[in-house]
């Protein structure tokens, strides 16, 4: 990187600076935030899980005795808020109820447990993968330790024990303990422990090893490692021993003191679990078991750290590739839309052209009709004019004839007749389109008289036209 100028060297301080308080700062921060510890108890019903929890934490977690008739294994988590001096602990105890009780002790015994553990990992992973996340507020429910209760037969591990522990060892820190240890004699116990450990080793079960890398705790841890599995006795009842009240179990033949190291390993368990290695258990859960789960899950989902060329994925590259993809998609969509638009335009254009053409045709058609009509009308007009001329000629001829005939006879009565004849002539000629004049004159007197005085007006006057059938027919 162009900025770094790393001259990492050890520097000696000229005086007290004060950052040695950093661990304390961190610790006090955790104290105010509080922290969680989650224990999973797996063992047959009645083996003493709840009693042991009560003894370990010196309190009474409210619980009723579990029934032996559970139909399936189910996990029952219960969370308690404990406080000691200024430390707040959110303790969750998860019970595998019904474990080992079924007649058929097959897969279904273990899978609910595995599922539960995985679900807690999954929830944490989801929170971690969120874009807006609040991990420091998150109540961590991942199981930090699994206490596996071994039935004190004195012989060896049951096959259910081996199967269960094998399934769980890669998911959680397992601490095997021998329950109700006061039912085994000292020598039996010794042999039992050796047998158990060798069976675990030969079956490849990885139980939790107390850490021996830190000098402060290496010694005590390695000693404890040799005492595994711890043979414990739990009791919440107090018995007077000497002049003290101690937690113990009172039998007719004697008292088994819980906190007496020669009686059982309870103190060792408490030391290891709470007072020495609690933080390490939490850390192992987070950095080993959780990371494994996370890696498997992410790989399952198809994520990779390196691309096909084994080059590490750069965030920038991924971003660029995704961006290119997205832009490409965008462009494609744009093209499609543009194409669609163009097509639509073309279609509409074609439609419009079609309509235009149709209109044009119609127009032409109408024009032609109109022309046709005009022509017909012209023709008729010409005919009419011809007839008018013919009529006028006849009229003139008739008038001359009439005046000639009138001069021959008396004038007055003929005037009337003349008028009558004139009128009838007029009417007759007006109405008659026929060719023969005299015939027309005679026949047409029976026709109704027109209202209009002249023929031109008569043509234009619709009422006149209507009154005379022949005109109407001819005109049409």
**Residues binding other proteins (CB under 8 A):** 1, 3-20, 22-24, 26-27, 30-33, 35, 56-61, 80-87, 89, 214, 216-217, 270-271, 274-280, 283, 287, 291, 294-295, 298-299, 303-305, 314-315
For residues 307 and 378, which CB has a smaller minimum distance to other proteins in the complex?
A: 307
For residue 259, CA distances in Å to 163, 222, 234, 347 come to 32, 21, 9, 95
Task: For the CB of residue 279, give the shortest distance to other proteins in the complex, in Å.
Answer: 4
For residue 308, CA distances in Å to 294, 311, 326, 348 come to 22, 7, 21, 51
For residues 267 and 465, which CB has a smaller minimum distance to other proteins in the complex?
A: 267
410 contacts: CB under 8 Å, gap ≥ 6 = none
**DSSP for 292-341?**
HHHHHHHHHTT--SB-TTSPBPPHHHHHHHHHHHHHHHHHHHHHHHHHHH
For residues 9 and 132, which CB has a smaller minimum distance to other proteins in the complex?
A: 9
Task: For the CB of residue 288, give the shortest distance to other proteins in the complex, in Å.
Answer: 9
Identify the three-state secondary structure at position 241. strand
Task: For the CB of residue 153, give the shortest distance to other proteins in the complex, in Å.
Answer: 31
C-alpha–C-alpha distance, residues 73 and 167, integer Å:
16
For residues 300 and 473, which CB has a smaller minimum distance to other proteins in the complex?
A: 300
For residues 86 and 187, which CB has a smaller minimum distance to other proteins in the complex?
A: 86
Q: Please, what's the b/e burial string for 20-31 (b: 16 or more CB within 10 A of its CB; e: otherwise)?
A: eeeeeeeeeeee
C-alpha–C-alpha distance, residues 80 and 232, integer Å:
23
For residues 18 and 252, which CB has a smaller minimum distance to other proteins in the complex?
A: 18
Task: For the CB of residue 8, give the shortest distance to other proteins in the complex, in Å.
Answer: 5
For residues 204 and 242, which CB has a smaller minimum distance to other proteins in the complex?
A: 242
Containing 404, the helix (H) or strand (E) segment is helix 315-408
For residues 247 and 421, which CB has a smaller minimum distance to other proteins in the complex?
A: 247
C-alpha–C-alpha distance, residues 211 and 222, integer Å:
8
Q: Please, what's the b/e burial string for 211-238 (b: 16 or more CB within 10 A of its CB; e: otherwise)?
A: beeeeebeebbeebeeebbbbbbbbeee
Task: For the CB of residue 314, give the shortest distance to other proteins in the complex, in Å.
Answer: 8
Q: How far is CA 257 from the centre of its chain?
A: 60
For residues 10 and 243, which CB has a smaller minimum distance to other proteins in the complex?
A: 10
Task: For the CB of residue 267, give the shortest distance to other proteins in the complex, in Å.
Answer: 11
475 contacts: CB under 8 Å, gap ≥ 6 = 380, 465
Task: For the CB of residue 59, give the shortest distance to other proteins in the complex, in Å.
Answer: 5
Task: For the CB of residue 240, give the shortest distance to other proteins in the complex, in Å.
Answer: 16
Task: For the CB of residue 154, give the shortest distance to other proteins in the complex, in Å.
Answer: 31
Identify the three-state secondary structure at position 476. coil
For residues 270 and 289, which CB has a smaller minimum distance to other proteins in the complex?
A: 270
For residues 1 and 410, which CB has a smaller minimum distance to other proteins in the complex?
A: 1
Task: For the CB of residue 304, give the shortest distance to other proteins in the complex, in Å.
Answer: 7
Containing 74, the helix (H) or strand (E) segment is strand 74-84
Q: Which of 188, 163, 166 is nearest to 178 (CA)?
A: 188
Beta-bridged to residue 245, according to DSSP, are 240
C-alpha–C-alpha distance, residues 51 and 63, integer Å:
10
Strands 244-251 and 254-257: antiparallel
For residue 212, CA distances in Å to 219, 222, 452 come to 7, 6, 140
Task: For the CB of residue 129, give the shortest distance to other proteins in the complex, in Å.
Answer: 8
Task: For the CB of residue 230, give the shortest distance to other proteins in the complex, in Å.
Answer: 16
For residues 195 and 297, which CB has a smaller minimum distance to other proteins in the complex?
A: 297
Strand order in the sheet with 244-251: 238-241, 244-251, 254-257
């Amino acid at each position: 990187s162009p900025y770094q100028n790393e001259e990492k060297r050890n520097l000696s301080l000229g005086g007290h600076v004060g950052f040695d308080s950093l661990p304390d700062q961190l610790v006090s921060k955790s104290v105010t935030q509080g922290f969680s510890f989650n224990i999973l108890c797996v063992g047959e019903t009645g083996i003493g899980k709840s009693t042991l929890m009560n003894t370990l934490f010196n309190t009474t977690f409210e619980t009723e005795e579990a029934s032996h008739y559970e139909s399936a294994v189910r996990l029952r988590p219960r969370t308690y808020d404990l406080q000691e001096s200024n430390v707040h602990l959110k303790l969750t105890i998860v019970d595998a109820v019904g474990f080992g009780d079924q007649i058929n002790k097959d897969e279904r015994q273990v899978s609910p447990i595995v599922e539960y553990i995985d679900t807690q990992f999954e929830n944490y992973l989801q929170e971690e993968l969120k874009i807006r996340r609040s991990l420091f507020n998150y109540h961590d429910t991942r199981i930090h330790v699994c206490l596996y209760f071994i039935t004190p037969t004195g012989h060896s591990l049951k096959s259910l024990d081996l199967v269960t522990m094998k399934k769980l060892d890669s998911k959680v820190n397992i601490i095997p303990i021998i329950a109700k240890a006061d039912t085994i004699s000292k020598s039996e116990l010794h042999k039992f422990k050796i047998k158990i450990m060798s069976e675990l080793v030969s079956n490849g079960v990885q139980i939790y090893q107390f850490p021996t890398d830190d000098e402060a705790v290496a010694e005590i841890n390695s000693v404890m490692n040799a005492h595994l599995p711890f043979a414990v006795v739990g009791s919440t009842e107090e018995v007077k021993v000497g002049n003290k009240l101690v937690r113990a179990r009172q039998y007719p033949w004697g008292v088994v003191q819980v906190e007496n190291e020669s009686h059982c390993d309870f103190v060792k368990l408490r030391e290891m679990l709470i007072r020495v290695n609690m933080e390490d258990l939490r850390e192992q859960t987070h950095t080993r078991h959780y990371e494994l789960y996370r890696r498997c899950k992410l790989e399952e989902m198809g994520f990779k750290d390196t691309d096909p060329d084994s080059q590490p994925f750069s965030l920038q590259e991924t971003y660029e590739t995704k961006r290119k993809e997205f832009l490409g998609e965008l462009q494609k969509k744009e093209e499609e839309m543009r194409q669609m638009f163009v097509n639509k335009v073309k279609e509409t254009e074609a439609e419009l052209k079609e309509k235009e053409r149709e209109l044009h045709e119609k127009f032409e058609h109408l024009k032609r009709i109109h022309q046709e009509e005009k022509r017909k009308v012209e023709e008729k007009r010409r005919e009419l004019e011809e007839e008018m001329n013919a009529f006028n000629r006849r009229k003139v001829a008739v008038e001359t004839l009439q005046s000639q005939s009138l001069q021959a006879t008396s004038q007055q009565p003929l005037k009337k007749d003349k008028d009558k004849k004139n009128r009838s002539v007029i009417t007759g000629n007006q109405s008659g389109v026929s060719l023969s004049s005299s015939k027309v004159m005679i026949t047409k007197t029976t026709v109704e008289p027109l209202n209009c005085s002249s023929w031109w007006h008569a043509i234009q006057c619709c009422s006149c036209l209507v009154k005379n059938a022949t005109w109407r027919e001819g005109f049409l």
